[in-house]
Amino acid sequence: MKFGNIKLGEIRESQIGAALAVSFLLFNVIFWAYPFVWLLILSFSDWRFFDVPTFSGLKNFFIVLDDPEFWRSLWNVLRFLGYYVPIVLTCSLAFAFGLQHIGRGKVFIALCFLLAHISSGVAYSLVFTKIFSSTGPMNRLLLDWFGFSIPWLSSPSMAMFSISLVVTWKFVGYYGLILYSGLVAIPNEIYDAAKLDNTPPLMRLFKISLPMINSQLIMVLVFAITVAFGIFTEPYMMTAGGPMESTNMPLLVIYESAFHRLQPGRAALMAVIIAIVSYLAIKIMRKILEKNVELV
């Protein structure tokens, strides 16, 4: 059967395609667009859960601007990135290069590293809290062997570093596999040619490997930035945002504002600001670091 130039089979196919696309759009409208619009409305509203939201103009905006805790949490995102990005990139690259040189058991090792990624955040945060305690096993060992201890989680200057170590442990397998997929796609001929030209290994790393996995590196960096703005469980469980609010992250402030202080309007505005800042951070990072690498 034909409708003009279109066969029935083709119509059915296009209908199925449209239906699938609609389900995706519907999902996004319900779970992304609707909450985001609601978030925007709340940002300009006075609401305490029980009453009807009333328009409050820029009141929430001025209160959030004047809130040192919120700005400190944004500063903490930068501090976290300062520790996390170099550590997680180095470890993930080491993992990816290591995986390249493993013959048997590659899948098993990759799965072992991925195990951390699927572990319960609450469970491992509790374990690391005990390990890193100033009177915990790690410090007991340091004291016995070297005569000193490290205030992993109890010093304002160390706590963020320790949390970034834990988050690195969680993501190193995941990021490593992304980088590994880029490394295995680099043709061996390029390395062979470089070796013939007596290019030293470090030069090969910086001139061949890293530029050739630029898209994977950018992907990892995007993930790292989103983790930095969205991190919650580790600081909530391990340090409660302390000591001296040195690990107080935006999501903790948003959560407390909404559900403990019962100020969902302010929390919504904070969420919108965080969304914009994180989007800009990713845009800037991509603008600076993203390269269009093509094998000609």
Partner 1 sequence: MRNIIEMMLAGAFLLISGCSGSDPTPEEFSDDKIIRLWVAPDESQEAFWKIVVERWNKRGSGIQVKFKTIPAVESSEKAILTALVAGNAPDLSTNIFSGFAAQLAGLGQLQDLSVMDGYKELVLVRHMESIMQGWDQGGKKYVFPLYSNPTLIWWRGDILQKLGINKIPQTYDDVYELSKQYAASDHKFGMQIMTGLNWYDRWYDYISFYYAASNGVPYINDGKAFYDNDAGLSVLTFMDTIYKNGWTALDFESDDPLTTGLVVGAVRGPWSVSFFKRMYPDTLKKIIVGPMIRKHKTDGKAYTFADSKGLVLFKHSKVKAEAFAFISWVLSNDELSLLWLEKTNLPPARGDLMENAIFKTFYEANPLAKQYAIYVDVAIPSAFIESTIDVQKIMGFEMVESVKFGTKPPETALADAVRRTNKLLKVAH
With binding defined as CB under 8 A, does residue 30 bind partner 1? no
Q: Which of 50, 145, 146, 148 binds partner 1 (CB under 8 A)?
A: 50
Closest CA to 268 of 283, 249, 246, 250: 250
Q: Which of 26, 102, 107, 143 binds partner 1 (CB under 8 A)?
A: 143
With binding defined as CB under 8 A, does residue 233 bind partner 1? no
Nearer of residues 193 and 262 to partner 1, judged by Cβ: 262
With binding defined as CB under 8 A, does residue 231 bind partner 1? no
Contact region with partner 1 (CB under 8 A), list: 107-115, 127-135, 198-206, 217-225: 127-135
Contact region with partner 1 (CB under 8 A), list: 83-91, 99-107, 207-215, 256-264: 256-264
Nearer of residues 56 and 133 to partner 1, judged by Cβ: 133
Contact region with partner 1 (CB under 8 A), list: 26-34, 78-86, 124-132, 163-171: 124-132
Q: Which of 77, 239, 250, 270 binds partner 1 (CB under 8 A)?
A: 239
Nearer of residues 91 and 231 to partner 1, judged by Cβ: 231
Q: Which of 56, 100, 119, 154 binds partner 1 (CB under 8 A)?
A: 154
C-beta of 34: minimal distance to partner 1 in Å? 16
Q: Which of 41, 151, 214, 226 binds partner 1 (CB under 8 A)?
A: 151
DSSP string covering 137-164: HHHHHHHHHHS----TTTSTTTHHHHHH
With binding defined as CB under 8 A, does residue 153 bind partner 1? yes
Binding site for partner 1 (CB under 8 A): 48-50, 129-130, 132-137, 143, 151, 153-156, 239-245, 256, 259-262
